[in-house]
Amino acid sequence: MSSVEDHYTSSDLGDRILAALETSGADMGALTIDDLAPVDALHIRGREATVELAQMARLDAEQLVLDAGCGIGGTCRYLAATFGCKVIGVDLTDEHCSVAEMLSARVGLSQLTEFHRGSVLELPFANDHFDLVWTEHTQMNIADKAAFYGELFRVLKPGGGLAFHDIFAGPEGDLHFPVPWATDASISHLIPIEELRTVLGAAGFSQLAWEDKTGASTAFFEGMVGAAPQAIGIHVIMRDAKTKIPNLLRNLKGGRVCVVQAVLKKPS
pLDDT tens readout for residues 55-102: 999 999 999 999 999 999 999 999 999 999 999 999 999 999 999 999
Residue-averaged pLDDT of the chain: 96
pLDDT tens readout for residues 2-32: 599 999 998 899 999 999 999 999 999 999 9
Domain range annotation of the chain: 2-265
Distance CA 23, CA 54 (A): 31
Distance CA 204, CA 131 (A): 16
Q: Please determine, for residue 1, whether its predicted confidence score (pLDDT) is greater than 70.
A: no
Tally of CB atoms within 10 A around 229: 7
Contact indicator for 163, 49 with CB cutoff of 8 Å: no
pLDDT band at 249 (very low <50, low <70, confident <90, very high): very high
Alpha carbon 202 to its chain's center: 23
Q: In which element (H, E) is residue 212 found?
A: strand 206-212
pLDDT band at 42 (very low <50, low <70, confident <90, very high): confident
CATH no. for 2-265? 3.40.50.150
Contact residues for 209 (Cβ-Cβ < 8 A; gap 6+): 56, 262, 263
pLDDT of residue 2: 54
